[in-house]
Amino acid sequence: MKKINGGVTAPQGFLAAGINVGVKPGSKKKDLAVIYSVKKGIASAVYTKNKFKAPPLFVSEENLGNNEAQAIIVNSGCANACTGDQGKTDALKMTSLTASVLGIDAKDIIVASTGVIGVYLPMDKIEAGIKEIKNHLSEEGGTDASLAIMTTDTVNKEFAYEFELGGKTVRIGGMAKGSGMIHPNMATMLGFLTTDAAVSKDALKDIFKDVIDDTFNMISVDGDTSTNDMVCILANGEAGNLVIEKNTEEYLKFKDVVRKICEKMSIAIVNDGEGATKLLTIKVLNALTKDDARKAARSISTSSLVKTAFFGEDANWGRIITALGYSGAEIDPSKCDIFLGDLMMAKQGKAMVFDEDAALEILKKREIEIVCNLNIGSENAVAWTCDLSYEYIKINAEYRS
């Protein structure tokens, strides 16, 4: 597996573009993106579980009923959420306009929006932008598309890998946006993956669900799950490999690369968390079940007290063990060990005398690892989060200003 450039246009047969159409008044930033496959492919997606799911997600879910797609249209600056029938009409219009411009079926288009909730899309600007964006589609357009989906993000989040599969070179590309309203409950942001691999619908669906559970569903910035979250993958088969089927060697190899790129995008989101100064990796080891391991890791990752302690560079391991205790996971307090990096803070659930200066040196780092060994089983899980800072409050207090 080799890291390459190009993002979503790194795989064969994909074009993309990102332009400014003025969705957010006064902004010159790109705010409309298109990803297009030269031929229709198969697709899989996961969506937010927020009850106030935005209209674009309902449209995308309906369009992906047959697990087929050929293009993705996304705007930033307006979430088109809590907009009722008009919101769905506008989302459908985005697909029909895109279909007309690209010469494909509107049912083969995934649509997404991100931005302020409770605001109607400026459809005059969206319509003009969709007509214009076709002129910008190119094999080099992945970065522009990635920039166009950003809101409070401070860095562009795109990745691509290539690897050998059945004697053919296969590529996977991805782009994501997310910085706030990030919490494990599917999908915690917007993420789009493309691949030129040939893969069966059943295999892609199973791979994607399993990978999401271990990546995008294991990150948290602030405990808020948005109305517009989704992650999808589109495969067009242009690499020419034999179709990947379930429970084969090729299936496992492909799944491993999908996991790697999803993990990279997930960590990039947390690392860019609003106001974040620390990236925290939480490893829970030797839990009784996989579900217990995930519960424990997530509980620590979403604890405001844990997150503020790390912002203050305070070696308060009591907050970690408290979050473990209310996680709902099966835990034997007399067997639990807590580490900050390689420094043991607690053994068998009890306090230890540890080197405070050594702890402070670890806490001053940008990237910090927390290890909780439950010592009652063999299942492990990893979660990622960031600290909670003064800047997070400032960003969100002024979000609509």
Q: What six digits make up the tokens of 74?
A: 């996304």
Residue 365 CB partners (closer than 8 Å, separation 6+)? 278
Could you identify the residue written with the tokens 């003064």?
Answer: 390
CA distance readout (Å), 226 to 182, 189, 236: 7, 7, 29
At 378, list the tokens. Answer: 């063999």
Q: Are 105 and 99 in contact (CB under 8 A)?
A: yes
Please identify which of the residues 83, 98, 188, 302 carries the catalytic annotation. 188
The answer to whether residues 231 and 72 touch, using CB atoms and an 8 Å cutoff, is no
On the question of a cis peptide bond just before residue 187, with omega within 30 degrees of 0, the verdict is yes
Select from 245, 252, 370, 213 the least CA-distant residue to 307: 370
**What's the chain's length in residues?**
401
Spatial CA neighbour of 45 closest among 117, 110, 121, 137:
110
Q: How far apart are CA 48 and CA 229, in angstroms?
A: 5
CA distance 126 to 120: 11
**Residues 19-35, buried b or exposed e (16+ Cβ, 10 A)?**
bbbbbbeeeeebbbbbb
Question: Is 281 an annotated catalytic residue?
Answer: no
Query: H-type helices in 110-248, by residue range?
Result: 123-133, 142-148, 201-214
The residue type found at 164 is: E
d(CA 233, CA 313): 39
- CA pair distance 32, 23, nearest whole angstrom: 8
Q: Which residues are catalytic?
A: 188
